[in-house]
A and B are shown apart, each in its own frame.
Chain A
């Protein structure tokens, strides 16, 4: 089966190196379809719903021998009683995600673009694993939400939405997370793409706790641009806040060390919050190629 790449962020040739890898979860999940993930509901009975490529290690009894004989390719049948992964990609589109962009009109190089690449790649990987992927676009409110599904057209739509992401001023993330929680009906995996440069970090992770209480696996992908970690060299700068345009004139030399301490403290706080709430935390530097990040992420999760 082949998927036609409609989004510019979907680099299929690059993703072929990762096609053998699957997005796995460390927890028992609740899925609406049979999938390769261990289901809370045991047994293989149920209505045949779909084929899925055979992955080494799977039960050979589930192999469709007829298809193998006919086509020479190994596929397993999916029945209703096999559960699948319901992944929701929650992307933060606050203006701070534009940091690193080449210009105000060209988001290339920004954290948002990185998130778009990574989210698109993840949606492809997840969908190829016969899992379902959804999307939530978060600002100070939930701008867009697409429940998880697994059809090709659905994934294409997800990827299209990811491609068309635009930032909006926002200093809070908690309200959108709560809205997303209210709309979620089934357990799954929540992948949170954000730089967490918000004013309500406590409230954010309070909302995350709601997901955790519902047995969601929450993966926190903390996006950091290398230029955010330290101040630029130079004499005097007029720093302009991306969120609200506030400006500040200063010479970085005097406050460079203090700033770096504060930023690291913020990153440490996010990590601490995430781990304290049972989340899976990954600090993602946008200086590292997204494929490398994704590969490392999948390898680590596959155990």
Chain B
């Protein structure tokens, strides 16, 4: 049995080549009369036996050289089972999983992992009596070529020939589930089941795989496409604006660079935005992600799209060296203060908030306008104009106002509700009831009459959230001295996310919680500012500034980025107009349709079954770009480190016996020493021929 049987056929034909060459190139003798022929005959007769021996030896060497060369090319599989052939003639149902995720495009020694395994997959899908097979191309949404195991090997080979790497992750569990379904559809109950998986066994994909879903009696073979050592890779993982992008004002664009190598790398990123090009550079530490920043300036309001690229980088995976992004440049924000307190009431909570907002207005990054709205008779237009809303002492709000508020949030605006009295608890409960998305991590309850909340201080804060991170390492020290009073009693809700509680009082009640709906966020600051130290401390203005600008205003600013190959349902923007006037434009090169738009709850929602290749999907009305959504490679595909064989066998095997062949072992098999010995034998035979000719000449 040979790895390349065709080489034997060629070698057999080549055996006649020396004879043909000898016949074609044999010298045409010159006729010459001679008187001493008998001496010639005697000489030849004497040398005949010697020449015959020489000719036999030379012919043997030549024939052996050609035969050894043919065998070396054919790669005999001595002592090994032929890949793709069962050791006996029993019926076999074989399901082949081929990883087509983006990481399979990583190159090692100039060859893509995918191309390295393609011929091995083909051998698994070759005809053999008693064999039925199926091929599953495994990406974000695995799909089987055939509904059930089939003998249509031509179909599988064709599918394999046209298969290519996709810019997607590998949903391992969904693929294994699909394989189990395929096995279940095989009618041959007595046939041996074989599951053959060709993948790079990327740790980010396989770490939580569970092979127990595969039939217990199935033989599982794991064929690794990855090299023994993970190759070095640099990747652009994300691009985002650091804060609100305002037209005409310089902003910072943050680029996350992942260095999946063992050495630090000096990295330069080129960022295109329209006609302008910015650059960000820095040293990326090994095996970590580094944030680089570059200044940008968008002259006009509206959406802008661009791309960032790693400059002059040669790594294993080139696809993740480019990333697209979209930005929306806005005007300077309008902050509105919704309160029932009179503007001239000093030392009131609204007074402190308005003074703090005024301080922000004088700041280069602060709002352009601060507007006070009477909570008793709120101006709808004024609410509509606000980019961020601060609600302080509003009293009991009507349902219409509450409805307007939850819509406000869902449309991507930010709201800071300063809860201090019982009416606030009712308001918050009603808001949550109107919109299930606005589910707070705590229930707000008015304090008991005899349990006044006072002299409270902060014990737990989220140091990485903007309003606390602005103080750096001094956050706990800066806020620990503050004393608070008032506010509502809070009780943690079951299954609530702890990350939504940004700070806690010493009585375990929440100080600051966050929730979101649609594109907006709602933060609740649970304290009576008039009775607390906070407004009088120097931390109030920066804390409020960070909370408004980094958490609430930017909620709708984040670029909508979706992983390629996966279904998407996303609220793009608040819109009340019909979708018929809008066009959805897919990025260049996207094979499938751009999806569809729908109008849901006053917002424009984008649906697509599988997001296309990396690029920007645009929503346009004529020439105007109304919204943009970016599709990008999943970050996990950039980390090329593989799960170890031990983990696969012990933790993920589901208790079954697994055959595992690593990438290096596969390459070693490919470079099995036998064929090198055969090649060496060929060379020795050629040298032997020269030696024989030399010896017999003398």
Contact = CB atoms under 8 A, between A and B. Distances in A.
Interface of A: 95-99, 101, 104, 195, 197, 225, 228, 231-232, 234-243, 246, 248-251, 254-255, 258-259, 262-263, 266
A248 B30 contact: no
Interface in B234-271: none
Given A235-B29, A254-B47, A266-B39, 15 more contacts: A99-B34, A197-B38, A228-B34, A235-B30, A236-B26, A236-B29, A238-B31, A239-B32, A240-B31, A240-B32, A241-B38, A242-B33, A251-B27, A255-B47, A259-B39
A263 B39 contact: yes
A116 B159 CA distance: 93
A231 B40 CA distance: 9
B448 interface: no
Nearest to B39: A262
A255 B38 CA distance: 13
B458 to A, nearest CB: 105
Given A235-B27, A236-B28, A254-B697, A99 B43 contact: no
A228 B44 CA distance: 17
Contacts of B451: none
Nearest to B41: A248
Nearest to B46: A258
Contact of B35 (A238, A242, A250, A259): A242
B35 A228 contact: yes
Nearest to B28: A236
A266 to B, nearest CB: 7
Contacts of A266: 36, 39
Give the interface centre of B28, B39, B44 by most chain A CB atoms within 10 Å: B39
Contacts of A99: 33-35
A193 to B, nearest CB: 15
A238 B30 CA distance: 6
Nearest to B697: A254
B40 A96 contact: no
A197 B35 contact: yes
A228 B38 CA distance: 12
A258 B46 CA distance: 9
Contacts, number: 87
Given A262-B39, A266-B39, A250 B30 contact: no
A236 B30 contact: yes
Nearest to B42: A262
Nearest to B37: A241
Contacts of B38: 197, 241
Interface residues of B, number: 23
B51 interface: yes
Interface in B273-332: none
Contact of A240 (B26, B28, B33): B33
Interface string B666-698: 000000000000000000000000000000010
A194 B651 CA distance: 104
Nearest to A197: B35
Interface in B49-85: 51
B40 A248 contact: yes
B204 to A, nearest CB: 71
A250 B44 contact: yes
A258 B27 CA distance: 22
A246 B40 CA distance: 12
Given A248-B37, A254-B47, A262-B39, A232 B29 contact: no
Question: Nearest 7 A-B pairs (CB), nearest first?
Answer: A96-B35, A99-B35, A241-B37, A255-B43, A238-B29, A236-B27, A236-B29
A104 B46 CA distance: 31
A124 to B, nearest CB: 28
Nearest to A249: B29
A227 to B, nearest CB: 9
A262 B43 contact: yes
A143 to B, nearest CB: 19
Contacts of A241: 33-35, 37-38
A239 B40 contact: yes
11 contacts: A95-B35, A235-B27, A237-B29, A240-B33, A241-B33, A241-B34, A242-B33, A246-B37, A255-B47, A259-B43, A263-B36
A238 B36 contact: no
B3 to A, nearest CB: 43
A243 B39 CA distance: 14
Nearest to A252: B40
A228 B36 contact: yes
A199 to B, nearest CB: 8
B375 to A, nearest CB: 116
Contacts of A263: 36, 39
B43 A232 contact: no
A99 B34 CA distance: 6
A258 B43 contact: yes
Contacts of A197: 35-36, 38
Most buried by A among B27, B28, B29, B44: B29
